[in-house]
Amino acid sequence: MAMEATTAYGFLTDATLCIGCKACEVACKQWNQLPADDGPDGPCALTGFSYDNTVDLGATTWRHVAFIERREPGGIAWLMLSDVCKHCVHAGCLDACPTGAIVRTEFDTVVIQDDICNGCGYCVPACPFGVPQIDHADGGSHKCTLCYDRLLGGLMPACAKACPTESIRFGVVDELREAGRERVAALRAEGRSDIHFYGGEELGGTGGIAGLNAMFILNAPPDAFNLPARPRLPRANIRPAALAALAASAGFLIAAAMTFRGES
């Protein structure tokens, strides 16, 4: 497909269609030449915590299929979701970067430029989703680029190309958002009250983020997938903290003045 510059592109990942095959993880690692993740018993070994050998997103894991085992009234249930960088409309990592290494591309995606990143790590706590991470092998911060090089060539990201169930859809963000809401409405009409659309203002895009370019259809509440229901940019905390500090200072000055007045 031809990619139009200045058009926002992203992902819609549907947990109700994910079968946990990890084809997206493999395709991401192969295309981006990322190393295998080591478990306790060597490369690609299970961690011992679940049927998962990668545990979470990281500097060398840009797509992560979460395996979540939950006990429900009817027995054990499995939840599976392929997580990825959210490419936020207002990205905390981009705001925090002091070197200009993190940029917004012509496709409205957020990319870390390896040759400019100095490994300061400011982007790590600035992300409400914990996505950018420092690679101790090269000292730089890394995350999903939404396959920027493939987009330049008119190709969809490797993970979406490899997904056998079309759980990962790639396209224009506005179209994906509409498709996601329609899918959620259809599933709820079938009696699926556990279905949520994650990525709009009402869920996932508040707290200064304004929305996500990588959206999700969830079959459980966000916290089941380690996603914050109300993510908040750290900069959104600055004003309340400053006001609290001013109030405390004012209270201190009033108390000091009253004490001085009493003594005199």
pLDDT band at 218 (very low <50, low <70, confident <90, very high): very high
Does the pLDDT of residue 87 top 70, yes or no?
A: yes
Query: What is the chain's length?
Result: 264
**183 has a pLDDT exceeding 50:** yes
For residues 236 and 207, what is the distance between their CA atoms, to the nearest angstrom?
A: 7
**pLDDT score at 237:** 65
203 versus 99: the higher-pLDDT residue is 99
Taking the C-alpha atoms of residue 55 and residue 47, their distance in angstroms, rounded to an integer, is: 8
**Whether the predicted pLDDT of 255 surpasses 70:** no
pLDDT higher than threshold 70 for residue 21: yes
Residue 120: pLDDT over 80: yes
The domain limits of the chain are 9-232, 233-264
- The residue with greater pLDDT, 70 or 153, is 153
The yes-or-no verdict on residue 207 having pLDDT over 90 is no
CATH code for the domain defined by 9-232: 3.30.70.20
pLDDT band at 102 (very low <50, low <70, confident <90, very high): very high
CA distance 171 to 186: 21
- What is the per-residue pLDDT for 243? 46
- Residues 264, 253: Cα–Cα separation, whole Å: 16
In tens, the pLDDT along 40-50 reads 555 556 656 66
Per-residue pLDDT band at 55 (split at 50, 70, 90)? confident
The per-residue pLDDT for range 28-38, each reduced to its tens digit, is: 999 999 998 76
Give the burial class of 37: count Cβ atoms within 10 A of its Cβ; 0-12 exposed, 13-18 middle, 19 or more buried: buried
Residue 132 predicted with pLDDT over 80: yes
Q: What is the pLDDT of residue 175?
A: 97
Dihedrals phi, psi of 13, to nearest 5 degrees: -110, 125
* pLDDT class of 162 with cuts at 50, 70, 90: very high
Q: Is the pLDDT of residue 65 over 70?
A: yes
| Percent of the chain scoring above 90 in pLDDT | 67
User: How much is the mean pLDDT over the chain?
Assistant: 87
pLDDT computed for residue 75 by the predictor: 83
Residue 251 clears pLDDT 60, i.e. is over it: no
Please tell me the predicted confidence (pLDDT) of residue 217.
Answer: 97
